[in-house]
Amino acid sequence: MVLLGVALPALFLSSVQAAAQPRVQLTAQAADQVLTWTADDSMTAYKSAPSTATAGPATIVFENSAATGNTTGMTHTLTFDISTPGYNHDVNLNIIASPFDAGGGRHEVQVNLTPGKYRFFCAIPGHQMVGELVVTDGGGTDTTAPQVSAQVAGDQDASGNYVGSATVTISASDTESGVDTVEYSLDNGAFTAYSAPVSVNQAGAHTVRYRATDKAGNTSPVGSVTFTVVTPQEEDTTPPQVTAQVAGEKDGDGNYVGSATVTISASDTESGVDTVEYSLDGQPFAVYTQPLTVGQPGTHTMTYRATDKAGNTSGVGTATFMVIKDTSGTECPKPGKGSSCKEK
């Protein structure tokens, strides 16, 4: 539907001011139905005006010119009432015309009329020109159902779930008789009238079905959207738990013979572990990805820490251990053969 609004001039427009008004002309495809209003020197009635029309597209012509009997250059408007109860308010039309304007007082505009009554009048102060246009449904020529769609909005997590709540907005349009009603159903409940976006805050999976009916009684197929709402998590302020285990062959003093393997484990029950880091013997921290084997003889200190996805970092843990050289690969001679040993 095409709506047209043109601001009214100040009171008591002069002929020069009227002539300066731009011509009101829309280039939409002309409708089959043409409705014509004319005006002349009278301030109490339009010279001619239609009283009936058929619902649907229409070309409205308003002419206030010398050809229609305006010999004084008087300005008139064709204005559709959009506030008085009892009338249709879906056509916002306000055309100002003068014999001296750029269009010579003749203007056209495309509109879409719906069944009911429209009140029209001249909005120039002091003019009493007023009338009604009765629009019928045209015998039910509209057989096309409305177009209807739905959009789901809200904060989503990484899995596409809506955190806390989801809002469903339904839109419908009909280019012929116009949309009459829009309805929705939540989770297989009864259909109810849709008047504003629907907010769903109960955790779980949900389905919203929707449909629209036009003023000719055509109902669209039922559409649907499916989504899941999850409960918001409380803010994670707790760091991960992190431990280290040292493994390997030990001697009688608890030293690790040949090498020791350090395995670091971390857990976080809220946001989850993001990174684990370690430092061996005072070196800079590095990312831990797998167990670490230390074969250098001597005393070693492994420090470690973990950070969760909320940015909380654990305290630094420490594991200290000693690695000694593996001497199991040497052999001493039998008694009486000498005191020196040699490797196998």
The pLDDT score that the predictor gives to residue 233 is 78
SS (H, E, C) 241-308: EEEEEEECCECCCCCEECCEEEEEEEECCCCCEEEEEEEECCCCCEECCCCEEECCCEEEEEEEEEEE
Tokens of 73: 């250059």
Q: What is the DSSP letter of 163?
A: E
Cβ atoms of 204 and 229 within 8 Å: the answer is yes
Closest by Cα among 254, 170, 276, 244 to 213: 170
Rounded Cα–Cα distance for residues 299 and 212 (Å): 79
The pLDDT score that the predictor gives to residue 295 is 95
| CA–CA–CA angle 239, 245, 251 (5° rounding) | 155
Q: What is the DSSP letter of 144?
A: P
> Residue type for 241, please?
Q
pTM over 0.85: no
The pLDDT score that the predictor gives to residue 22 is 36
In degrees rounded to 5, what are phi and psi of residue 77?
-125, 155
210-237 pLDDT, tens digit per residue, is 999 999 889 999 999 999 999 987 888 9
Q: Could you tell me whether strands 147-153 and 204-214 are parallel, antiparallel, or unpaired per DSSP bridges?
A: unpaired
May I ask the CATH class of domain 241-324? mainly beta
Q: Quick check: do 4-136 and 147-230 share a fold?
A: yes
The pLDDT score that the predictor gives to residue 28 is 36
Cβ atoms of 149 and 224 within 8 Å: the answer is no
Segments of the chain scoring below 70 in pLDDT: 1-31, 138-140, 329-344
Tell me the three state secondary structure of residue 17: helix
Sorted by where each begins, the domain ranges of the chain are: 4-136, 147-230, 241-324
> Residue type for 36, please?
T
Cβ atoms of 48 and 39 within 8 Å: the answer is no
Task: Please report the DSSP string for 48-108 in residue order.
Answer: B---EEESEEEEEEEEESGGGT--S---EEEEE-SSSTTS-----EEEEE-TTSTTTTEEE
The pLDDT score that the predictor gives to residue 235 is 83
Rounded Cα–Cα distance for residues 116 and 114 (Å): 6
Rounded Cα–Cα distance for residues 69 and 79 (Å): 20
| CA–CA–CA angle 149, 152, 158 (5° rounding) | 140
As a CATH number, domain 147-230 is 2.60.40.10
Report the Cα 293 to chain-centroid distance in Å.
53
**Among 3.40.50.2000, 2.60.40.420, 3.60.10.10, 2.70.98.10, what is the CATH number of 4-136?**
2.60.40.420
